[in-house]
Every structure is written in C-alpha cells, then in structure tokens.
C-alpha cells in the first residue's frame, strides 16, 4: 500500500508541492484504530525513539547514581537547538560523570539555533559536540556505560551493551522480535531502528499507558515521559514544535520528532499512541499532520489548536519576510 | 495522474524515504516524447525560469548599454552561493548601473556558501542583499528598468513593465496564453510562473534550439545560454550541480535548478528540453533524477556520468562524517 496524500504546500493560490505519507493510531489496548497509507511501512524512528532509548538510563540505575534531574532526563530525549539552556546542562551532566566533551561520540554540526551559531562565529569559539542536537542522548548513553563499567570509547557501536539494552527495550515495548528490527546509522553515529509504523505507534501507546508493564519498567517510563512534559524546553527549545506542543498540553501528552519526516505522540489520558512518517522525509510537514490528527481524534480543544496554528498551518516566508505560501493538511483519518 | 516513484533514499540497506515526481521530455519539434507522472502538472518553475527571465535584459538593449560581460549575463541566470566571485560581480554590475546594494529588492538571507557566512560573522560584516542567491537576477531586472526609464523602486511587482516583459517571453516561448500562467511570489519577492511541466520542457527545448524564432530573440537566447555554459561558476558556484554539470557538458547542455524540487535542461545538440518536478519539493533528489534521465536518453557518456556520480547517487553523511545513506534513482522513462 502506497503513501497517502497528507499535506498541500500552497503558493499563489495553487498547490506547489504535496507531502504524502503514513499515519498509524493505536489505542491503549494496542489495537490499530486508524491508519492512512501503509501502517506496516518499515520506518526508521530516528530521534522519535529517544524516549525509549532513555529507558536504560533509569533502569540501570545510572540516572539515580549520577543524580539526573528531570531536566537532565528530558535533555537525554532531546533533539535540541544548542541554546545555552541545553549546552550548559550538557556540560553539567558531563561534570557529574567526570567526563569531558571529547567523551561524546556524536560528532559536530552547527547549532540549530541560528543566533547561537552566529554568536559562536563572532566570538571565535569552536563548534563542539555539545551543540550537536543529540548531545543529551549521548550523555545518557555515556552515563549508562560508565555506571555499568563498560567501555566508553565505543558506546555508540551496535554490539556495545548500551546499544544492546536499547534494542531489547524497543523489541519489548514495540512487540517486535529482535531479528526483525532493521538497523541503520543515525546522524549522530548510533544505531537507528526500523520497525513497522504501527509498532512505533504501539511503543508510544505503551509509553502513554505503561500500566501493564513490570513495575520497574513502568516507573522508568513514567519518570521519562514526566521529565519531557515537565521540562519541554529541554526536548527542543525556542520555536520548536515538540516544546511548544508539550507546553500547551500541560502534562497530558508528549511528542517527539525524528529526522526524515517522523513524529510520534503519546496521550497519557487515553493511552493512545500516534506515529507519522512523511514518505519523502521532509520534516516541514510533520507538525501540520500531527496537530490535524489530534484535532480529528478530538484530543485537543479548539483553543489548543489555535495556539498551535503556526505548526498546524506553517507559513512560508521569503527573504523579504513576506508570507508567500502555507502548508495545509489535506487528509481525513481512515478507520484501520 | 499522480506522481511516479523516482528516487529511493537508502539507509541501513532499506528504503528510508522515497521521492515521487514528474518528468517531461520534449524534442526539438516541440513534441512530448517521454513523460513520467503527470506532464500537465502545473509547476512553479521558480529559479529554473531564470534563463527566460534574462531574455529582456538582452532584447531591450540594457545588456549592451551597461556592457554586460558573458559572466555578468550568466550571473543574472544564477542561484549563486554568495561566494566572492559572485558578490564582487554583483557590485561591479551595480557600479556600471550607478546603483547601490539598496537598489536590489530581493531581501537578504545568509549566503549559501557556509564558509562565506562564517567569514561574515567572524569579521562582523552585515549580510546584505548581494548574498541573496537571486541578486544577479535582480541586477538584471534593475538594469532593464533603468535602461527603459522605468521606476526602480518597484521593479519586482507583477504589473511593472520589467515583469510584464518577462511573462510575455514565457507565454511566447512556452506556448501558453498569458491568462493561463499561474502567478505566485518567489523567495526573492518577484513573480513566479506556474505552467504545465511539458510547457516548461518546451521552453527549454526552444532555448536549446531557437532556430525557428525571430532573429532578435534567437540571438538573445544564444547569448544567454552561451553565457551560462561559458561561465558556469556564476550560475551556482563551488560544489553545485548546475555548475559542475555544465563544466562537464562543455557547451553542449545548460541546466538550471529551481526551488521546490525543479530542474530543467536544454541540450543544444539534439534540441531536447527536459523538465523535472519532485512532487514533495525536495531539491536533494533533482540532480539524481536529472543525471538518470540523461543516461537513459543516451545523452551523456559513461565517462560523464561517472564524473557526476556524487550528483547521480548523492551520499548522506552524518555529523561524524560517516557515509550512512545514499539516494538512488528508481525509475525508467516512459514513452509519452
């Protein structure tokens, strides 16, 4: 089954481009209730997997031993902007670990937050690994390796215990055998996990309602999702959908973007899990689809959707700062 | 007719994302010979229209009066990197026009060439309109307005004679009535033109073989396409497909990218015109499709396609500079 038409990109009153993709909505019983496109589309969750990747930080005891605050834990689930609020915290975590920036194996890229990038250039400072949007996740991985007495140099490699624990969590929560999980390499060098989209939605349903899970895992999950919702600035930052969405949801829902057009949401109140994949991989369309899905499921109020308007109907501006286009969702959820 | 599957984005051995789109190939008689997807897809040509937008610069006499060199003319067809080679030339053209940077109404954005952006930041210099990738085109528009004694403040507006001359050229070359051309606003504030993809390919076929056109237009076209092919560095710059493609083609073909996934090519030798639109608007897939089309049409040699390998099969690298994925064309041209 091919992708379905999800979003129009409007310019000059006509459709300039279209985004097609897939949506899977799973209820608290683990049943697929809505699906557009192909719910079995094997999808690299990319950074949407971060809340699951954080579970071993708590379960191993590393989070307690290194006294991870809620904000620290939220940062381990982040694709952050590289603002001071993020990088200062990365350095604090590394200090608690008695490790340096060089211990992070994520590589470097300019901070997503343009002002910070320009500030670094102007002041002649180096763009180090702390500005990598995944540096919080790498701090978490490093902390479990160190706490467990494992090698630190290669914590990012597929056969390292850090990565084995993560893939086992994914296999368990998403109910997919280990040998059916596709593996690739992420933008920051660690393994990424490819699973059917409906399994990804199931994973988020379990994060939203972990009642059926063993106490230890339930507790770890609740600590992580609470951290994301209590400290949403850590997950993205200024002008980021994940952050602004969780601020507006005030502890009811958590959401996480992934590269190549992925977005996942868990709703604590209903136990619903949602997974979205834009087939062409363009992240510009994900927030528009996410808000529209919540609206059609009646999971957000009219007022909330108004507050999210800039993400629901993102505007395109030109170099003269004129609004010259807009993204508009163009789908109806289909019963699975 | 919907878009067709054109390119796979591979990661970890599986297809992470797909790009779908449309292709139209028109021969020198103006006949559509191949089409994938919908050749009637109304498409904003965006910057692919620049060679046509340059025609009035020559036809009005502005290019001669202000002594435009071949490199200057090539720059008016550019979506350039904002390297010194581009901005120095923008300033030279403006000097010949006795105008300043403030006369350019394109707005500003950081130069595409990252090193230049960092250099500007480090040296505390302002990002002015000259770094806008369209500043060459705006120099051309300004030159015709000034030469014709028209107002300079509003040359970018749809009803200004500069823009009227351009839309008339498009109507003529692409054989589409003026009132059937859709109008939007481009990233640099000027009108963009939406026409069926096969008409865009027809326009490029006429650019490639203008033999049937009136002498004045034929001469203007030959001067512009020669300029692009003789001075390909001006059209894009370092590490840009348009530039490297035209260097390898050595005067046989010209190509121009447009935003939202557009690419157009004209082949002087056969008179063939090619127009490509990636439905989702992602420019990362266009060079891959373009080289593959040329290969399937036997318009490039094995050796040339090898030299273009990085554009034919673009690699994806992560922040650790590891190759973690690749784009691969996945289509066969279909007879129209």
Asked if B192 and A12 come within 8 Å (Cβ–Cβ), the reply is yes
Q: Around Cβ A100, how many Cβ atoms within 10 Å?
A: 12
pLDDT of residue A9: 98
User: What does each of the 336 residues of chain A score in pLDDT, given as a tens digit?
Assistant: 799 999 999 999 999 999 999 999 999 999 999 999 999 999 999 999 999 999 999 999 999 999 999 999 999 999 999 999 999 999 999 999 999 999 999 999 999 999 999 999 999 899 999 999 999 999 999 999 999 999 999 999 999 999 999 999 999 999 999 999 999 999 999 999 999 999 999 999 999 999 999 999 999 999 999 999 999 999 999 999 999 999 999 999 999 999 999 999 999 999 999 999 999 999 999 999 999 999 999 999 999 999 999 999 999 999 999 999 999 999 999 999
pLDDT of residue B224: 98
Suggest the residue from B105, B131, B153, B281 to mutate for an interface test with chain A (most A CBs closer than 10 A): B281
User: What does each of the 336 residues of chain B score in pLDDT, given as a tens digit?
Assistant: 799 999 999 999 999 999 999 999 999 999 999 999 999 999 999 999 999 999 999 999 999 999 999 999 999 999 999 999 999 999 999 999 999 999 999 999 999 999 999 999 999 899 999 999 999 999 999 999 999 999 999 999 999 999 999 999 999 999 999 999 999 999 999 999 999 999 999 999 999 999 999 999 999 999 999 999 999 999 999 999 999 999 999 999 999 999 999 999 999 999 999 999 999 999 999 999 999 999 999 999 999 999 999 999 999 999 999 999 999 999 999 999
pLDDT of residue B36: 98
Which among A14, A189, A260 is the nearest to B17, CB-wise? A260
Which among B18, B105, B121 is the nearest to A122, CB-wise? B121
**Residue B273: closest CA among B217, B206, B197:** B206
Q: Phi and psi (nearest 5°) for B42?
A: -65, 120
- Residue A3: helix, strand or coil by DSSP? coil
**Residue A195: closest CA among A91, A285, A273:** A273
Residue B213, min C-alpha distance to chain A (Å):
31
Residue with the two structure tokens 């993020």? A86
Q: List chain A residues with CB under 8 Å of B49.
A: none
Residue B177, min C-alpha distance to chain A (Å):
18
**Residue B245: closest CA among B315, B285, B328, B305:** B305
Q: What is the CATH number of the domain that holds B91?
A: 3.40.710
Residue B99, min C-alpha distance to chain A (Å):
20
Asked if B18 and A122 come within 8 Å (Cβ–Cβ), the reply is no
pLDDT in tens, B237-280: 999 999 999 999 999 999 999 999 999 999 999 999 999 999 99
Asked if A189 and B322 come within 8 Å (Cβ–Cβ), the reply is yes
**Residue B224: closest CA among B204, B247, B238, B240:** B204
Q: Phi and psi (nearest 5°) for A317?
A: -115, 155
Query: How many Å apart are CA B287 and CA B78, to the nearest integer?
Result: 16
| Residue of chain B nearest A261, judged by CA positions | B17
Which among B19, B185, B192 is the nearest to A322, CB-wise? B185
Cross-strand pairs, A323: A317
Crossing angle for the helix pair B241-249 and B286-296, to the nearest 10 degrees? 20
Which among B108, B122, B319 is the nearest to A106, CB-wise? B319
Residue with the two structure tokens 């959908």? A241
- Residue A35: helix, strand or coil by DSSP? strand
pLDDT of residue B188: 96
Range of the domain at B239: 4-335
Q: List chain B residues with CB under 8 Å of A109.
A: 319
**Residue A133: closest CA among A113, A153, A163:** A113
Cross-strand pairs, A207: none
- Residue B87: helix, strand or coil by DSSP? helix
Asked if A11 and B280 come within 8 Å (Cβ–Cβ), the reply is no
What is the number of domains present in chain B? 1
Distances in whole angstroms, Cα of residue B302 to Cα of each of A245, B164, B250, B256: 51, 43, 15, 22
| Residue of chain B nearest A8, judged by CA positions | B280
Distances in whole angstroms, Cα of residue A82 to Cα of each of A121, A127, A156: 14, 10, 21
In this structure, the strands spanning A32-36 and A42-44 are: unpaired
Q: Around Cβ A85, how many Cβ atoms within 10 Å?
A: 17
Query: How many Å apart are CA A264 and CA A232, to the nearest integer?
Result: 15
pLDDT of residue B314: 98
ipTM strictly over 0.90?
Answer: yes
Q: Which two tokens stand for residue B14?
A: 């599986």
| Residue of chain B nearest A277, judged by CA positions | B17
The model scores a pTM over 0.80: yes
| Residue of chain B nearest A187, judged by CA positions | B318
Which among B17, B44, B109 is the nearest to A279, CB-wise? B17
Residue B171, min C-alpha distance to chain A (Å):
18
- Residue A21: helix, strand or coil by DSSP? strand
pLDDT of residue A236: 98
């Amino acid at each position: 089954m091919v992708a379905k038409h999800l979003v129009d990109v409007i310019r000059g009153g006509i459709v300039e481009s279209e985004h097609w993709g897939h949506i899977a909505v799973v209820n608290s019983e683990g049943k697929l209730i809505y699906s557009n496109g192909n719910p079995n589309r094997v999808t690299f969750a990319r950074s949407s997997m971060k809340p699951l990747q954080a579970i071993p930080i708590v379960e191993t005891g590393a989070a307690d031993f290194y006294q991870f605050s809620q904000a620290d834990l939220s940062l381990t689930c982040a694709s952050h902007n590289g603002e001071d609020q993020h990088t200062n915290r990365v350095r604090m975590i590394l200090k608690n670990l008695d490790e340096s920036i060089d211990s992070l194996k994520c590589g470097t890229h300019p901070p997503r937050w343009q002002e910070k990038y320009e500030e670094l250039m102007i002041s002649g400072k180096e763009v180090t690994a702390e500005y990598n949007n995944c540096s919080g996740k790498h701090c978490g991985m490093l902390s479990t390796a160190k706490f467990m007495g494992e090698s630190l140099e290669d914590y990012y490699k597929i056969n390292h215990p850090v990565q084995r624990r993560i893939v086992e969590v994914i296999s368990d929560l998403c109910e997919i055998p280990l040998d059916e999980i596709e593996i690739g390499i992420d933008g920051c060098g660690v393994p990424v996990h490819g699973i059917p989209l409906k399994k990804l939605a199931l994973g988020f349903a379990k994060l939203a309602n972990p009642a059926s899970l063993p106490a230890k895992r339930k507790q770890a999950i609740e600590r992580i999702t609470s951290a994301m919702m209590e400290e949403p600035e850590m997950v993205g930052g200024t002008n980021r959908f994940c952050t602004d969405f969780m601020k507006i949801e005030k502890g009811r829902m958590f959401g996480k973007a992934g590269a190549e057009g992925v977005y996942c949401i868990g709703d604590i109140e209903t136990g619903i899990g949602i997974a979205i994949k834009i087939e062409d991989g363009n992240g510009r369309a994900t927030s528009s689809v996410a808000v529209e899905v919540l609206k059609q499921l009646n999971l957000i109020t009219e007022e909330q959707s108004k507050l999210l308007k800039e993400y629901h109907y993102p505007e395109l501006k030109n170099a003269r700062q004129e609004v010259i286009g807009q993204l508009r969702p163009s789908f109806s959820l289909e019963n699975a």
